[in-house]
Structure 1
Amino acid sequence: MKHFDPPTTVEAVRSATAPGLCGDLDEDAADLASQAARCEGILAELPARADRDPAQQERAQLALDAARAARRHFLARHTEGVYDRLTQARSRYVRLPDLVFAAAETFPGLVPTRKQMAVEARCGQVDKDGREIDQGIFCGAVLRSARAGRHLIDAMLMPTPRALDLIDEFRAEGRSELDTLLLERRDQAAHVTFRNADCLNAEDDRLIADMETAVDLVLLDDQVRVGVLRGGEVDHPKYRGRRVFSAGINLKDLRNGAISFVDFLLGRELGYINKMHRGLLVDTHGAAWSDRTVQKPWIGAVDTFAIGGGMQLLLVMDRVIAEESAYISLPAAEEGIVPGLGNLRLTRYLGARLARQVILSGRRIAMTDPEARLVCDDIVPADGMDEAVGRAVRELAVPAVAANRRMLSLAEEPLDLFREYLAEFAVAQVARAYSDDVLAKVERRWQRSQARG
């Protein structure tokens, strides 16, 4: 690659990233690499973000923006060529994290390298340069392409290597204890219990990875007909000894820069949640979706509350049972981020007006509200939860249920609707995660939690 000295002015950066593609993938990739290198040269001359003065930060941001403009321009022309190169013309199925880093190695400057991401990982969210935004640009472009996007969705619907390593043991013992959850087979059902007790069963990178493993195991085990998702007991002083379904995203981890875009913010939607909704892909050559996938009904049992990502999970459940004192909410306006696929799915349950009240205004729905029946099937006393779950398992274990829920999913959320939504979500969500208002909100929440001791 031809060496370029870093430009000395912002105008030079803008000039370096001006559109000038010839249409040949390799030539344009070399040009992108050179343009990105010029911008990296500027960043290399500056202190780390935490130590920059306002003028230095402005210069860094202009360089980052210029490089991102070049990446968007390149991907607008070459997304499918890039994807085909990375997957050997779609003959290989590459999971999202591996795809992103393969792109960094094969097309320098297109997405951050492992080394660059390792540097960012050592910083709090406010002190990062937002290199995940570049990952979002790439992922959004891939998903925007019908050909590449569908192939990536298939790749993410396949069993994870970790689940394949554990399935024989789970089939034999009917139990798998992971870091943040417990999976137990009882009769026809596999019960997944959140055990992130120190943070109200909030979702973090570990829980997302464990959940995908657990969902794979549920779908791979022929002895299981129904999956059950429920929160375990927590340690929080206000709720100690009580079951809590989920507090949503772990905002402390978001503040500390420990929430991954690829593995969490986008990976959960393409990974375990989509597997619950569409099934596990076990045959890439099958013509009918029913031949290609294993699908099973899911029950969500809500104790105390389901907030944010917890409520999002209920939107792919086939039966939702809640204790009568519980509540659900999607506090997107308060948190400042996009609530996953809540914006796509919630209107099917609540209608457009009420969905806007929940997402845009933070309206909380208590189980005593009439609207709760639009999301929850059964609302029972706390001491009636186990009986209600058992009854639901027996009803949903009927063989015809899996076939009918597959057809319902197809009618409600066609694959391309899902793909096109995620293409925009990939870009919007990662941008929100680095927005000034979000950074300020999570910092204020963290300060309040520290003050409470």
Structure 2
Amino acid sequence: MSDNTVLLEKVGATAVITLNRPHRRNALDASIKAAMTDIVSAVREDWSVSAVVLTGAGGNAGGNFCAGADLGDGGADAERGFYVRDLLLDHHGWFAELTDLEKPVISAVDGFATGAGLSVALAADFIIASDRARLVSSFARVGFIPDLSLMYVLPRRVGLVRAKEIVFSAREIRGEEAVAIGLAEAVVPADRLRDAAIEFAQRFEKAPTHVLGMAKRIMNRTFETDRHALLQLEAAVQGLCAVSQYNAEAVRRFFSKEAPLFPGTQRLF
């Protein structure tokens, strides 16, 4: 990991990942790429982690979740077109791993999530925004198309027409509107954001992490998988569930009328 530009801490069974370049508004650079590659891998392999919170440093001081790519980061000696292409592909490595991480991921967004920073927020399963959050597809302002999978994820979140409006206008979307259009799931006061996100993540502590993870991986492909292929995936994964220790204990408790391992949680939103 490079210069502590991404921090990882454990709060119980929740991993908290913090982008930590507040002096650059947590913009993505080579050091974040290297750190996120290591950290996402570590979280994936840590069986004691049941959920993940992703946030940005400096939030309680009015900072930003992520200002997108650091446009002043390197590339001076490279041919610009190839440099930009390679930079994106490098970041897609850890980003894809985060998107498909087989654990619930919650983005806690305070301040600005702009450009690729909005993409990073949308890599999570759920977004909790502060009351001063600003979500912006700012690419058009600097003559770029959306990247880091935004054109894939955004229409699936808010619908194609609304996604076009967000991209074409390059406008700021605040918390309450973000919830209304499906871009975020909840808005909380800024000084409660971290705690609210962790409390949300802790609801999954007794859940069957591998079961939720496999269901997530399949649902992430719902819109490009035909029904037959999805049913085959469903059947194969259900077979794995049926021979798991978790399933055996859960079924035993069910028939013995004992308290369940995971009683479910209250409505998430």
Q: Normalising to structure 2: TM-score of the pair?
A: 0.73
**Structure 1 residue 179: Cα displacement:** 3.2
Q: Pick one of 318, 321, 324 that aligns with 2:125.
A: 318
Q: Pick one of 138, 144, 149 that aligns with 1:337.
A: 144
Q: How does 1:15-30 map to 2 (within 5 A)?
A: none
Secondary structure at 2:176 match in 1:
coil
Secondary structure at 1:250 match in 2:
coil
**Hey, what does 1:215 align to over in structure 2?**
40
> What amino acid maps onto 2:150 in structure 1?
G
Q: How does 1:31-430 map to 2 (within 5 A)?
A: 178-233=3-58, 241-253=61-73, 256=76, 260-261=83-84, 264-269=87-92, 271-279=93-101, 295-340=102-147, 341-369=149-177, 373-397=181-205, 398-399=207-208, 400-412=211-223
Please say if residues 200 and 244 of structure 1, whose CA atoms lie closer than 8 Å, have aligned partners that are also in contact.
Answer: yes
Please say if residues 3 and 31 of structure 2, whose CA atoms lie closer than 8 Å, have aligned partners that are also in contact.
Answer: no
Please say if residues 109 and 127 of structure 2, whose CA atoms lie closer than 8 Å, have aligned partners that are also in contact.
Answer: yes
Please say if residues 365 and 371 of structure 1, whose CA atoms lie closer than 8 Å, have aligned partners that are also in contact.
Answer: no
Structure 1 residues 371 and 385, CA, compared in 2 at 3 Å: closer, same or farther? closer
Structure-2 separation of matches of 1:408 and 1:178: 36
CA deviations 1:43-71 (Å, max 9, x no partner) are: xxxxxxxxxxxxxxxxxxxxxxxxxxxxx
Structure 1 residues 373 and 254, CA, compared in 2 at 3 Å: closer, same or farther? farther
Q: Unpaired segments of 5 or more residues in structure 1?
A: 1-175, 235-239, 280-294, 415-453
Structure showing greater Rg: 1
Secondary structure at 1:374 match in 2:
coil
Structure 1 residues 257 and 388, CA, compared in 2 at 3 Å: closer, same or farther? farther
CA deviations 1:73-114 (Å, max 9, x no partner) are: xxxxxxxxxxxxxxxxxxxxxxxxxxxxxxxxxxxxxxxxxx
Please say if residues 245 and 302 of structure 1, whose CA atoms lie closer than 8 Å, have aligned partners that are also in contact.
Answer: yes
> What amino acid maps onto 1:404 in structure 2?
A
**Structure 1 residue 363: Cα displacement:** 2.4
Please say if residues 330 and 359 of structure 1, whose CA atoms lie closer than 8 Å, have aligned partners that are also in contact.
Answer: yes
Secondary structure at 1:183 match in 2:
strand
Q: Unpaired segments of 5 or more residues in structure 2?
A: 226-269
**Hey, what does 2:256 align to over in structure 1?**
none
Structure-1 separation of matches of 2:107 and 2:25: 17
Please say if residues 331 and 358 of structure 1, whose CA atoms lie closer than 8 Å, have aligned partners that are also in contact.
Answer: no
Structure 1 residues 314 and 368, CA, compared in 2 at 3 Å: closer, same or farther? same
Count of aligned pairs between the two proteins: 218
Please say if residues 8 and 18 of structure 2, whose CA atoms lie closer than 8 Å, have aligned partners that are also in contact.
Answer: yes
Structure 1 residues 410 and 214, CA, compared in 2 at 3 Å: closer, same or farther? same
Structure-1 separation of matches of 2:37 and 2:10: 17
> What amino acid maps onto 1:266 in structure 2?
L
Structure-2 separation of matches of 1:370 and 1:222: 33
**Structure 1 residue 188: Cα displacement:** 0.6
Q: Normalising to structure 1: TM-score of the pair?
A: 0.45
Please say if residues 134 and 173 of structure 2, whose CA atoms lie closer than 8 Å, have aligned partners that are also in contact.
Answer: yes
**Identity fraction in percent:** 28
Structure-2 separation of matches of 1:299 and 1:308: 19
**Structure 1 residue 261: Cα displacement:** 3.8
CA deviations 1:110-141 (Å, max 9, x no partner) are: xxxxxxxxxxxxxxxxxxxxxxxxxxxxxxxx
> What amino acid maps onto 1:356 in structure 2?
K
Structure-1 separation of matches of 2:76 and 2:2: 27
**Structure 1 residue 396: Cα displacement:** 3.4
> What amino acid maps onto 1:384 in structure 2?
R
**Hey, what does 2:260 align to over in structure 1?**
none
Please say if residues 104 and 201 of structure 2, whose CA atoms lie closer than 8 Å, have aligned partners that are also in contact.
Answer: no
